[in-house]
Structure 1
Amino acid sequence: MIELYTWPEAARLLLTLLIALAVLLQTAAMVLSFQRHESGPGHWGENCLELLVLMQILACSALHGQIHHNYFNSLLAPTGYGLLRILCFAAIVLMAAVVMLLKRKPWPLLVVLTAALTLPMLETACGNAFAYLYVAALLVYPARSIHIGRLRYREIRTSLSALSIKNTIDSLHTGVFFSEPDGFILLLNAQMHRLMQAISGGMRRNGNRFYESLLAGDLEPGCRRVEFQGQIVYLLPDQTAWMFTRTELRIKSKKYIQLTATDITRRWIMTAELQRQEAELKSKGEELSRSIASLHTLSQERETQKAKMRAHDVLGQRLTLLLRTIRSEQALDYELLRSLAQGLLDDLRTDQTAPSPQDELEGLRQTFGSIGVDIEVQGRLPQDRIKGRLFADVIQESVTNAVRHGFATKIWVRIDCSAGAYHLQITNNGYPPTRPIVEGGGISGMRKLVEPCGGALAVTVRPSFAVSVHLPGGADHV
């Protein structure tokens, strides 16, 4: 270190500033290292290593101070603090080895090599060149301190502390707490604390007892316990709904209990609304069924009234002819009387026969049109009366089912004839079935009408509900 006595004053001043900067930066790096949230043997080893590096820099600072003191007092004395430098180096080597073993990283070797540049043995071996090695070490220390400080600062920013975990859990809208198997609560967030006060009237210190009170229904006034989708739900006075779930956790072979309270208010409101709508639809469906039954009854009454009017007209006509003959004081014509009696029965039988299938289809359109259901028919029924009657019956049953079960307001009926067969397809804009179709009286009855005639009936639900009928043998339409 005698070489330093020959350096200019400005160089020695810069060296002093460099040492001060090294001490300042290493102190900051050490403080940041100790402020890390994580703990463990590896982290404590790194902290101790930074402390030893600071001691090594302070030993170099003391050596530099001795040289300055000797220079200003015109003394040329051998450099001191040799034992301190050796002890600091030995401690750095030992701690660096520990850190390398625990962290499995080679970077502590750099500080070992840097500290070796300040050893007294190297000063004896290198002579005047030792001053330059000493300055090189003082240049490495600040650069290393800056690098270590940045690493520690990044670790602090990205690591999780107990406080940050607590703040994060408190920010959750979901209530949660963690407890020991005996019920001792380890961590409780703010939402669960509020729920405890609302449900049980106060803070519970034992998680098991709080959960038992939930199961027992021991609730504050205004709270209700209901079942929702196989889970227990608690309705609070503020109109919110909460579902509690208890889970066992195992962390490092140790058992913990987690109780979670999930806010299902929106699902609860939507479910209640769906149930209300379902009940309303069921009520409207029953009302519609009664309306359809009333329409059929009204249609039958109209046919009965029509038959009565026909009987009145036929009988009135015959009686008028008979009375006119009697009043004319002419001799009674027995042949005329016989023809009147025989014609009467024929006329009544003729009128009581059922209307044509096409007339029934038109009557069906008018009947359902009166309740807002539009039936659009494309094509005409088969000319064959049996097949026409069959198609009319299938159409009537399909329309009734579409309105009653699917709440249809628009029904399309398509009738055509091709390839020597009649084809009927009925679709609607109603709601499709939500469950697999189980053939009951309606579909089974239609199938029994179609199959004896050699036809086939098919029911599809996608993309929309449709009934299709195919009957062999046909070429003409009415």
Structure 2
Amino acid sequence: MQTFLMIVILLSLVGNMILLFAFQNMKLDDRKWYINIALFVFLFLLLNALAYSFEAAHGGEIYLQMPSVPIGVWWCVVGVIDALLIWEGLRLKKMRTETIRQNSIKEAMNVLPIGICYFMDDGMLKLCNEQMYRLFQTLTHRDLQKQEELKEALQQCERYGVSRINNKEIYLFPDGKAWSYRENEVTDRKGKVYTEAIFLDITKQYEEKINLTKQTEKLKEISKELRYLSDNVLILTREREVLAAKTKLHDQMSAGLTAIRQSLVQENADYKDAVRLLRQAVNAIWNDNQYPLEEGDFERFLQDAKTLGVEVVCEGTLPESEELANVCVLAMRECLTNGVCHAGATKLWIEMQNENQQCRIRITNNGETPDKEIVPKGGLYNISRHVFDYGGEMQIQSFPYFALTIAFQKERV
């Protein structure tokens, strides 16, 4: 019984020692580690006492030299300790399957689709996954050891067929994949700082960006074509309205000739109105023949107004920007033709202001007051589109008289 007990205690010591190493590796609660140390010391002392009892045996009779303690009691004590050790061992086994270990972290990092690694303060590699190793192998054809090697490889990436996109931390690898690189500082529970280097796979976003850039270029070309067509429509509309106004003058001249002929047939007829209409039409035709083809758009506008018999009173100067000046002249022409054809205007007031960072133009006439509120359509709608394209604002006043106001912010042009 005593010999078998010593064998059981020896096995218990071996199991306890294994548990102590497991506690140390898993970095569990120190209190349990101290308890296992105490049990180990107790079993060790008990084993020594049993071994000493062999030397104290007399006449070959083996008995335990333990004062007033039967051997059965020690069997119970050792049995309880072994039960505790077995229970603790099973619990540790379960914890090892459920607890994240260093190998578990390494395996989890290798599964990640990103390349990631950690460097210590001295630049030495602490932890790295397989994806980062593969990317570094593509960059340098060697293994990653230090942070300086990674930085140097990124600076000389074109040597190995890796392109850096737009001087940003985006790298296009020979296999067609695009990776975004970044560094962060991370701190563990003990306050130690590590440098985290990450490669993110942005191939899908990069391809979508390229497609979006191509589509944007196509849209710009289509926008230019649409603007060209819209400008042509605006020019054709303006010429049609000018032609309608000139046709009206020709009709007046024809009516004047008819009235003069009737006045010559009749005695004591008053032909002053007929002569006035005829003179107005003839002057319009003469002014139209003096059209200044070699001059600018604003001078041609003034000539068209003179041809239509409209007096233009202009204050201020056009904006220095050619684009804004063209929009202003288009607005003047639209107000001229609309005033003549729809309101019977004979005078046009144009007020232009260039103050600080704002350009402003206001156009009114002496024509009849509109019957209803004017809604932009046709030529006015095209004018508003041009104004909005250059970041401007357009307002139309219908009552008590017509007025068109356009304002631009110079810094937006």
TM-score past 0.5 threshold: yes
CA 1:310–1:354 in 2, change beyond 3 Å: closer, same or farther? closer
- Is the contact made by 1:234 and 1:242 (CA closer than 8 Å) also made in structure 2? yes
* 1:293 aligns to 2:280 (yes or no): no
Map of 2:395 onto structure 1:
446
Structure 1, residues 224-267: CA drift from partner, whole Å, max 9, x if none? Answer: 11247xx5211112222222223445665765433222223333
- CA distance in 2 between partners of 1:320 and 1:52 (Å): 138
* 1:354 aligns to 2:340 (yes or no): yes
State the SS of the aligned residue for 1:183: coil
Give 1:301 shift. Answer: 1.5
- CA distance in 2 between partners of 1:222 and 1:175 (Å): 19
Counterpart among 275, 278, 285 of residue 341 in structure 1? 275
State the SS of the aligned residue for 2:105: helix
Give 1:206 shift. Answer: 2.9
CA 1:29–1:168 in 2, change beyond 3 Å: closer, same or farther? farther
Provide TM-score, normalisation by structure 2.
Answer: 0.57
Structure 1, residues 315-357: CA drift from partner, whole Å, max 9, x if none? Answer: 456657878x89xxx9686848666434546899899863448
- CA distance in 2 between partners of 1:452 and 1:58 (Å): 118
* 1:242 aligns to 2:199 (yes or no): no
Counterpart among 199, 223, 227 of residue 261 in structure 1? 199
- CA distance in 1 between partners of 2:33 and 2:377 (Å): 88
Pairs aligned (count): 322
Provide TM-score, normalisation by structure 1.
Answer: 0.51
Structure 1, residues 272-328: CA drift from partner, whole Å, max 9, x if none? Answer: 4444444444444443333332222111111123234444455456657878x89xx
- Is the contact made by 2:256 and 2:278 (CA closer than 8 Å) also made in structure 1? yes
- Is the contact made by 2:53 and 2:63 (CA closer than 8 Å) also made in structure 1? no
Map of 1:305 onto structure 2:
243
CA RMSD of aligned residues (A): 5.3
CA 1:333–1:300 in 2, change beyond 3 Å: closer, same or farther? farther
- Is the contact made by 2:161 and 2:173 (CA closer than 8 Å) also made in structure 1? yes
Structure 1, residues 197-224: CA drift from partner, whole Å, max 9, x if none? Answer: 222333343321320332x344344321
- CA distance in 1 between partners of 2:369 and 2:266 (Å): 45
Counterparts of residues 287-436 of structure 1 (less than 5 Å): 287-316=225-254, 335=269, 340-344=274-278, 354-356=340-342, 386=369, 391-392=374-375, 401=384
Map of 1:102 onto structure 2:
none
Counterpart among 134, 137, 146 of residue 74 in structure 2? 134
2:117 is matched by which residue type in structure 1? F
- Is the contact made by 1:34 and 1:47 (CA closer than 8 Å) also made in structure 2? no
Structure 1, residues 153-189: CA drift from partner, whole Å, max 9, x if none? Answer: 2332244433223222222222122234443323222
CA 1:295–1:338 in 2, change beyond 3 Å: closer, same or farther? same
Counterpart among 223, 232, 242 of residue 169 in structure 2? 232
Give aligned-pair identity as a percent: 21
- CA distance in 2 between partners of 1:132 and 1:284 (Å): 101
State the SS of the aligned residue for 1:446: strand
5+ residue gaps, structure 2, are 285-307, 311-336, 344-366, 406-413
CA 1:334–1:290 in 2, change beyond 3 Å: closer, same or farther? farther
1:226 is matched by which residue type in structure 2? I
- Is the contact made by 2:245 and 2:340 (CA closer than 8 Å) also made in structure 1? no
- Is the contact made by 2:186 and 2:193 (CA closer than 8 Å) also made in structure 1? yes
5+ residue gaps, structure 1, are 5-15, 83-119, 124-129, 358-383, 407-439, 458-478
State the SS of the aligned residue for 2:153: helix
- Is the contact made by 2:138 and 2:160 (CA closer than 8 Å) also made in structure 1? no
Counterpart among 26, 31, 34 of residue 38 in structure 1? 26
Map of 1:121 onto structure 2:
67
- Is the contact made by 1:245 and 1:261 (CA closer than 8 Å) also made in structure 2? yes
- CA distance in 2 between partners of 1:24 and 1:401 (Å): 97
